[in-house]
Amino acid sequence: MPEAPQESELVTDEHWMDQAIELAWRGQGYVEPNPMVGCVIVRDGRLIGQGYHQVFGEAHAEVNALADCQRAGEDAAGATAYVTLEPCCHHGKTPPCADALVAAQVKRVVVAVVDPFDAVDGGGVSRLRDAGIDVVTGIGTVKATQLLAPYLKRVRTGKPWVIAKWAMSMDGRIATSTGESQWITGPESRKEVHRLRGRVDAIATGMGTVQVDDPSLTAREGGPRQPTRVVFLRSRCPGIDSQLVRTASQVPTWLAVGPAISDCDLALLADHDVEFMRCRSAGQTEMVDEVLARLGAGDNPSGQIITNLMLECGGGLLGSFAAAGQIDEAHVYIGSKLIGGLAAPGPVGDPGVALLADALGFEITDVSQFGADVRLIYRRLDS
């Protein structure tokens, strides 16, 4: 086993790993279901090459960093490569990155997170060490794990990372007592929501939201992708005149259908390019768990693996996800309006928890202002 790095070397390693992590974030929304990965190559304290995974199916971070060295006329032989995730050792859409580093004759590889994916899971580290390369793991792990959290959850649990978004008044209402909700927040916040939509794989909503708001759930501020729409149905179907159905030929629209809904009810929607996932249970948490497992496994109408799922829905579906323990991140927009009224709804509905000890725990990771609104981003403490 290689010797542990000295304290001064650890400081240097953490500095360069921070650079690799910052690079990796540039791939957000472009590389999923692959992980976001960054790589920097350093010799004698000088950066000689850098790269990140830019587009799903194309070259990985290590290969892009080595190509950057070549473009700059630098030789990676004898250098140190800093990589946010263990280099792959299998043939997928691209050749193994571990082999590329071996061929480049790097002297040392520093890895933040060992990849739990079955086809890697320490195999990349072993291949590098078998080639005589010094490998150090566990540098910058906390920051890299935050970067990789959606990918790591999907690999370990088979379910996508769930981002709940809601807008509420200063006093925590998502609508008035009469149901009016447009608009609690301003245009700047709504633009930011569209940017979030443009980087997730799919958006989930419920029939209550479809009936009340008739949303399109599309990304209209640009972004890497147009998300698939997933609608949870337990007892009612959307009308053919709804925006989701009318645009299903342009943007994929899947209905997660409970057993109470008949095939006859769905037949007319199928004529409008709406697709279906028939669920075994209509129970709140059971249906959430089943749909998430199918989305994460690619067991859905398109075979697409979903890594990031956004919730834009009412309190009923949010309550079901919360009860299932399946909210990993929350983007909470607080508008500068005071609504009041005991009948005015809050963002998360039944079943809720009876004891505070049973409540999901989160930490704030970002606070930003958009016009007169404030956005808080929370992440689950155990995610």
What residues are labeled active site? Answer: 62
Q: Sheet holding 38-43: strands in order across?
A: 46-52, 38-43, 80-85, 108-113, 134-137
Name the token pair of 224: 């890497």
The answer to whether 128 touches 102, Cβ cutoff 8 Å, is: yes
Residue 126 gets the label, from left (phi > 0), alpha (psi -120 to 50) or beta, of: alpha
355's CB contacts (< 8 A; 6+ apart) are none
Measured CA angle at 346 (ends 344, 351), to 5 deg: 120
Q: How far apart are CA 298 and CA 293, in angstroms?
A: 9
Give the containing element (helix H, strand E) for 108. Answer: strand 108-113
Instruction: Read off the tokens for 250.
Output: 């342009």
